[in-house]
Amino acid sequence: MTMRRHRQSLGYSKEDLNRLNKAIQWLTVDVNRAESQPCELEGALQEEGASGSVKGKLSWLEAALQRARQAMVRQLREYQELMVIKLGLDFEIATYRKLLEGEERRVSLRGEAESLTTLCSALDSDLTCLPGLAWGPDRLLLFRSRL
């Protein structure tokens, strides 16, 4: 039952990670667009330089540039927050992976112990299974063999 929960939790974490990666890509595109916007605005300003209302357009473009910079700063903060969340999810996925591997190893060892116990019971009764070893329900026990 716990393995199922761990796998389900791992699946949810992977879905969250995929969503965050998509959000990061989207924000990266927006940041790149915001970074290129000042160049476009400056180019538009140079083209309109011959016009009579250059000062009005210049102030409008400067305001647009300021808004673009503010948007870029906001998006950068969001990106950093998403990266922190992503790192947390990466850590959680790694933790669940280790737990799952440990559980699988434990189940595998228990199965090996049961098969060794079956093998030992089939051996001659004068033999002490494997000399110096015995299997308990949860672990390997050491004992002295009969002489």
Domain presence at residue 36: yes
d(CA 87, CA 66): 32
Gap between the Cα atoms of 109 and 87, Å rounded: 33
3-state secondary structure string across the chain: CHHHHHHHHHHHHHHHHHHHHHHHHHHHHHHHHHHHHHHHHHHHHHHHHHCCCHHHHHHHHHHHHHHHHHHHHHHHHHHHHHHHHHHHHHHHHHHHHHHHHHHHHHHHHHHHHHHHHHHHHHCCCCCCCECCEEECCCCEEECCCCC
Q: Within a domain: residue 129?
A: no
Whether 76 is covered by a domain: the verdict is yes
pLDDT digits 0-9 by tens, 67-107: 999 999 999 999 999 999 999 999 999 999 999 999 888 88
The domain that holds 96 is classified in CATH as: 1.10.287
Q: Is residue 119 part of a domain?
A: no
Q: Note if the pTM is more than 0.85.
A: no
Segments forming the whole domain that contains residue 36: 2-108
Q: What is the pLDDT of residue 81?
A: 92
How far lies 29's CA from each of 16, 69, 76, 80, in Å?
A: 20, 15, 11, 15
Does residue 116 lie within any of the structural domains?
Answer: no
Between residues 125 and 27, the one the model is more confident about: 27
Instruction: Domain count for the chain, please give it.
Output: 1
In-domain check, residue 144? no
Determine, yes or no, domain membership for 142.
Answer: no
Please give the pLDDT value at position 37.
75
- Report CA-CA distances (Å) from 78 to 27, 36, 48, 72, 95: 8, 19, 35, 10, 26
In a domain, 118, yes or no: no
Judged by phi (left if over 0) then psi (alpha if -120 to 50, else beta), residue 62 lies in alpha
CA distances from 104 to 32, 96, 107, 117 (A): 45, 12, 5, 20
